[in-house]
A = this chain, B = another copy of it.
Amino acid sequence: MRVVSWTLAELAGPLSAAVGDSPDFRVLRPVAVDSDDPGGLTFCESRKYLRQLTAHAAGAVIVPPGLEVDRPHLIASKPRVAFETFLTMCRRPLPSRTGVHPTAIVDPLAEVDATASVGPYAVIEQGARIGAGVKVFPFCYVGENCVVGADTVLYPHVVLYQDVKVGARCVLHAHVTLGADGFGFRWDGRTQRKIEHVGGVLIGDDVEIGASSAVDRATAGATAVGDGVKLDNMVQIGHNARIGDHTVICGQSAVAGSSVLGERVTLAGQTGVADHVTVAGGVSFAARTLTTKDIPDPGVYYGVPARPLAEGLRIVARLPHLHERIEKLERGE
């Protein structure tokens, strides 16, 4: 593998930083603050980080103005942001080649832009349209009449069933499923009869969806995920749900059928929104929170059922002492 390196002087410009020391010192890669990698560049933005830095031997560090360090460093007003820029410079996309790999099976009635990359053993069905600059990695299945917008990446093993529209610049991670049937059955006295789902899925621009997450197709119409939404791994979005722009949903959370989330909602890990519930824009859920009712007001919520954070925390904090307090009263003290 080709090894890339940068001198601190070379990095100063791209990272909007000043060279604090040793402009010719070479770094090879970003590292955590507790790394001992002599070729690593890390960042330090607090006393806590400084302690870790001092105890370890990362080759160079990005520090804020006024912080003294004993090793090669860059000075930036926001070290973390400078470090994130360095991360972006170090990114190495998975290997892919423009064009359709000879083992990919593209239906004659599908359209693949000449600048797109369709990897080995991908299957693109009739009526599908793959936009400019799209990367379809191995083993992806892009079903009938699906549309993949410009510069979107489908990592290996993504499945789009049918009538799934994905916007531009999206990232779909391995084993994502978009457009599987919604979960709807009706007991007819003898069996659970399937309610057919004939709608689609509509994913906005700049959406990222984590490994093994799923967005079900709508009964009719479309399950809709807004622009800029970020879904972590193993997130489930039920049929006909609507997720507002720039909403962020962490791992192993679920939004059940027909629920509506506003813009910039944040759901922490392992949270849930039951079906047919509306959650206002700006709402945040702490980890493991669940609501089965509408949440009309922005704010942070916690618990099962979801309560405003301060109230939820208070209830939990008092819980261990209730018994003792009652006991004291019972003893007549």
Contact = CB atoms under 8 A, between A and B. Distances in A.
Q: How many copies does the complex hold?
A: 3
A63 to B, nearest CB: 17
B180 A173 contact: yes
Given A30-B220, A141-B139, A234-B214, A159 B181 contact: no
Given A92-B198, A162-B94, A196-B88, A319 B315 contact: yes
Contacts of A157: 139, 141, 157, 159, 175
A180 to B, nearest CB: 5
A214 B304 CA distance: 27
Given A192-B248, A195-B87, A173 B162 contact: no
A120 B125 CA distance: 11
A183 B211 CA distance: 11
The dominant DSSP class at the A interface is: loop
12 contacts: A1-B127, A32-B221, A105-B121, A173-B180, A177-B212, A183-B230, A191-B246, A210-B214, A232-B236, A233-B236, A272-B287, A305-B316
Contacts of A246: 187, 191-192
A238 interface: yes
B144 A94 contact: yes
Interface residues on A, range: 35 or more
Contacts of A185: 208, 230, 248
Given A181-B173, A211-B180, A251-B183, A234 B236 contact: yes
Q: Determine which residue in A197, A208, A240, A311 has the highest number of CB atoms from chain B within 10 A of its CB, and name it.
A: A208
Contacts of A29: 198, 220
Contacts of A292: 287
Contacts of A137: 141
Contacts of A192: 206, 228, 230, 246, 248
Contacts of A211: 159, 177, 180, 214, 216
A323 B163 CA distance: 53
A183 B196 contact: no
A198 B93 CA distance: 10
A274 interface: yes
A137 B305 CA distance: 41
A62 to B, nearest CB: 12
Contacts of A228: 191-192
Interface stretch (A5-13, A67-75, A325-333): A325-333
Interface in A279-327: 287-288, 290, 292, 304-305, 307, 311, 314-316, 318-320, 322-323, 325-326
